Amino acid sequence: MSATARYPFSAVVGMDDLKLALLVNAVSPAVGGVLVRGEKGTAKSTAVRALATLLPDQQAVAGCRFGCDPDAPDPECPDGPHPAGAVPEDRPARLVELPVGASEDRLVGSLDIERALTEGVTAFEPGLLAAAHRGVLYVDEVNLLHDHLVDLMLDAAAMGTCHVEREGVSVRHAARFILVGTMNPEEGELRPQLLDRFGLTVEVAATRDPAERAEVVRRRLAFETDPAGFAAGFQHEERELAERIRAARKRLPGVVLTDAALRQVTAVCAAFEVDGLRADIVTARAAMALAAWRDRTEVTSDDVRDAARLSLPHRRRRDPFDAPGLDEDRLSDALQEAGEQDPKGPEDDPDGPGSPDGGGQGGDGDDGGDGNGGDGGGQGPAPEAGEAREDDDGRDGGPEESAQEGEAPADPPPGRPQERPAGEDGENEQRKGAGAGGEQSSEAGETFRPRLFSVKGIGAGAPGRRSRAETPFGRASGARRPGEGRGPLHLTATLRAAAPHQRARGRTGAGLVLRRGDLREAVREGREGNLVLFCVDASGSMAARQRMRAVKGAVLSLLLDAYQRRDKVGLVTFRGREGRVELPPTSSVEAGARRLHDLRTGGRTPLAAGLLQAADVLRVERLRDARRRPLLVLVTDGRATHGGLDDALRAAAWIGAQDVQTVVVDCESGPVRLGLAERLAAQAGGEAVRLEELGAEALTGLVRGTRGRVA
């Protein structure tokens, strides 16, 4: 055993679900891989890297860069065709790691530039997908990988082939591998469409048992002191696991998915209302792999239960604000109902598994019921009319405060939530939300699809979906001489620059004579993600009746839009005497939704302090990442009852002088408007938009006309 031995798989303490999901994929790669979600420092990467050492050794055609099986070579292999009886070579199963900063060329392969320039031939240089064929492809921090690369990787994993059409190269090669991705949800989520492409998912967290934590530390220290000796102590367990995987692979083709087990699979997927049929197929495959792993020839209800626990949690999330997890009681009920069915027909197996073994084990992943408890549900009861607390300056929240008890409320403007009539629910909500010092907490209003807010100009920030930018991905919009940060080579432009000088350079033969000055790099235009900083007025004037409910619904809508456009988000609030950073800029919109849900209101309005706090956050973030352009969204009615309006206007002007693009969401209501928010927007060089118009067609291109900073 070498000094660079990997940490043994059998030495990982706890993490039973993670190890089971990895072993299921080792038995049946057709399950579709596993996504491991969890906080940092939970042995995610250690377990994945240890899995590769358990996979059986394999034979490959000697000299084939694509690892073809000599018994069944790929007929379309670019290095083929391989003759019958090709010379085999033994090799271990490969573990290929895809770094976050990888390019598309590195992933799928590209034209072999050296051979193209020296030999004048079109040759293909394989990428990481070809290297991972018949092995494991591991992507750490998969949520930070660009969506374009994630799409390519998941397409190859689903089809078992990789198609490359670029730079005059047209290649198809086999790419069947076990896909494993790890991520920290605090750094941002994957889109639901991408989550669905992973076969299984596992939530991992560090154990809270002191004895188990002590054992983890003890083993890790022993491994770091003597890696080879530590690994040698687990050789017996590792050999047993490897042999069990080989036996399960041989047993898998003979495993029977009975009609009773299939009814349970489909009943569970229907009970959790997952979209499409991929969940049913993955659950069935995982259940069959579990049966083979457990040395059975038929799928039982226990296999279906465990397969559903691994294959469904990430598929029932339709919204980034939905809580992850699976309701174990609901799962047991669905299995039991499907098991109690007794369809008539000779094909039914009377001895097939019918019901679970007594309700299963209660898990911590209970999502709390029917899934309607998300932050953005907008179904919370409204406070009763007339009970809202006024601001200290004596102003109320608008004309709706004068509505008489028993009168039907007027229809709300477009984009505003429908007001619920006052009653017992409103009284209970008011009593529950009122805190010390007159503080209140309200539920969020209904969410909607807001207009696109984008920053003017062409930036160069992190890839995303909001503003125009030069990115490593996207369409080629031109070529230029290489700068300090050299981009991908633009082959056509390079050859075009070198062609007129070949005779003067004494070219002979088929080779092309190149000079450094001939090189051109490709300029690609795509979209970038921005820093969207919300600065929200949480004073007493915003707490009046339905106003804060509508504000929370609007900010949640903008948060969801930021999630879809791959932005970083931050939240600053101001009330009383100061501004406060509720959420430092992060890629996790879930964290922003939680902070917004818990936001309490009341007190005076320190507008200037809130703007200065937001400016300080933007200043620090610019030092950390100068390429990510900011967008400040100020949500306020423009009143400044602490510090004065003049100070607030000066703060807004200072922010505008820093080339920060600003959008002011005007929450002022009533027949008479003071226009304070519009004055703030004018001082900041931005634009104001009324709260009720956030989702209206009138906002088309609103922010595109405002000035912005080009990184």
Structure confidence by residue, pLDDT tens digits, 365-421: 444 444 444 443 433 333 333 333 434 443 444 433 333 333 333 444 333 334 333
Residue 613: its pLDDT value, please? 92
Q: Angle at the Cα of 143 (from 139 to 144), degrees rounded to 5?
A: 90
Topology alike, domains 9-57+92-206 and 255-340:
no
Q: Angle at the Cα of 623 (from 618 to 624), degrees rounded to 5?
A: 95
Residue 451's pLDDT band, with cuts at 50, 70 and 90, is low
CATH class of 9-57+92-206: alpha beta
> Is the pLDDT reported for residue 297 higher than 80?
yes
> Is the pLDDT reported for residue 431 higher than 60?
no
Residue 474: its pLDDT value, please? 61
The number of CA neighbours under 13 Å toward the Cβ of 454 is: 17
Residue 2: its pLDDT value, please? 45
Structure tokens at 651: 């703060």
Dist. CA 676–CA 678, nearest whole Å: 5
> Is the pLDDT reported for residue 209 higher than 80?
yes
Helix (H, G, I), strand (E, B) or coil at 381: coil
**CB of 81 closer than 8 Å to CB of 125:** no
> Is the pLDDT reported for residue 521 higher than 90?
no
Mean pLDDT of 287-294: 94
CATH number of 528-705: 3.40.50.410
- Pick the more confident residue, 338 or 288: 288
Q: Work out the angle between the directed axes of helices 278-293 and 301-311 (0-180°, nearest 10).
A: 130
Residue 702's pLDDT band, with cuts at 50, 70 and 90, is very low
Kindly report the backbone phi and psi dihedral angles of residue 203, in degrees, each rounded to the nearest multiple of 5, phi listed first.
-100, 125
Residue 392: its pLDDT value, please? 40
Residue 500: its pLDDT value, please? 82
Helix (H, G, I), strand (E, B) or coil at 464: strand
Per-residue pLDDT tens over the stretch 223-237: 999 998 999 999 999
Residue 285: its pLDDT value, please? 94
The candidate with the shortest Cα–Cα distance to 128, out of 119, 120, 138, is 138
Residues 6+ apart with CB under 8 A from 650: 608, 683
Per-residue pLDDT tens over the stretch 251-270: 999 999 999 999 999 999 98
521, amino acid identity:
E
> Is the pLDDT reported for residue 544 higher than 70?
no
Per-residue pLDDT tens over the stretch 637-674: 888 888 888 999 999 999 988 888 898 988 887 676 78
Mean pLDDT of 533-557: 76
Is 278 part of the annotated catalytic residue set?
A: yes
> Percent of the chain beyond pLDDT 90?
16
Residue 215's pLDDT band, with cuts at 50, 70 and 90, is very high
The candidate with the shortest Cα–Cα distance to 677, out of 662, 669, 665, is 665
The candidate with the shortest Cα–Cα distance to 677, out of 507, 543, 542, is 542
Instruction: Produce one character per residue of 507-530: b if its CB has 16 or more CB atoms within 10 Å, e if not.
Output: eeeeebebeeebbbbbbbebbbbb
DSSP for residue 627: T
Residue 101: its pLDDT value, please? 74
Residues 6+ apart with CB under 8 A from 627: 459, 460, 461, 462, 711
Dist. CA 646–CA 348, nearest whole Å: 80
Dist. CA 535–CA 354, nearest whole Å: 56
Dist. CA 644–CA 342, nearest whole Å: 75
Rounded-to-5 percentages of helix, strand, coil across the chain? 40, 15, 45
Residue 316: its pLDDT value, please? 77
Mean pLDDT of 173-202: 82
Residue 483: its pLDDT value, please? 67
Q: Output the CA–CA distances (angstroms, integers) from residue 536 to 41, 345, 382, 497, in the order listed.
A: 34, 64, 20, 54
Residue 415: its pLDDT value, please? 38
Kindly report the backbone phi and psi dihedral angles of residue 636, in degrees, each rounded to the nearest multiple of 5, phi listed first.
-165, 165
Residue 189: its pLDDT value, please? 72
Residue owning tokens 């610019």: 622
Q: What are the helix (H) ranges across 464-576?
A: 491-498, 547-564
Residue 1: its pLDDT value, please? 41
Residue 351: its pLDDT value, please? 42
Helix (H, G, I), strand (E, B) or coil at 253: helix
DSSP for residue 624: H
Residue 293: its pLDDT value, please? 94
Of 278, 395, 650, 679, catalytic:
278
What's the sign of the alpha-carbon dihedral 618, 619, 624, 627? positive
| Partner residues linked to 620 by β-bridges | none
The candidate with the shortest Cα–Cα distance to 670, out of 637, 633, 645, is 637
User: Which strands make up the sheet holding 687-690, listed edge to edge?
Assistant: 578-586, 568-575, 531-537, 630-636, 661-666, 687-690
CATH number of 255-340: 1.10.8.80
Ranking 334-338, 390-394, 535-539 by mean pLDDT, the lowest is: 390-394
Per-residue pLDDT tens over the stretch 491-514: 778 878 888 887 788 776 666 777
DSSP string across 173-239 = EE---EEEEEE-GGG-PPPHHHHTTSSEEEEE-----HHHHHHHHHHHHHHHH-HHHHHHTTHHHHH
Q: Output the CA–CA distances (angstroms, integers) from residue 272 to 21, 202, 609, in the order listed.
A: 20, 17, 47
Q: Is 185 left (phi over 0), alpha (psi -120 to 50) or beta?
A: alpha
**Number of other residues whose CB lies within 10 A of the CB of residue 116:** 19
DSSP string across 294-344 = TT-SB--HHHHHHHHHHHSTTTS--STTSPPS--HHHHHHHHHHHHH----
Dist. CA 614–CA 612, nearest whole Å: 5
For the chain, give the longest Cα–Cα distance. 95
Helix (H, G, I), strand (E, B) or coil at 467: strand
> Is the pLDDT reported for residue 3 higher than 60?
no
> Is the pLDDT reported for residue 115 higher than 80?
no
**CB of 684 closer than 8 Å to CB of 440:** no
Dist. CA 136–CA 176, nearest whole Å: 9
For the chain, domain boundaries: 9-57+92-206, 255-340, 486-519, 528-705
Mean pLDDT of the chain: 75
Residue 391: its pLDDT value, please? 40
Residue 318's pLDDT band, with cuts at 50, 70 and 90, is low
The pTM (predicted TM-score) of the whole model is 0.63
The candidate with the shortest Cα–Cα distance to 338, out of 263, 270, 280, 258, is 263
Helix (H, G, I), strand (E, B) or coil at 43: coil
**CB of 415 closer than 8 Å to CB of 691:** yes
Dist. CA 44–CA 35, nearest whole Å: 10
Residue 502: its pLDDT value, please? 79
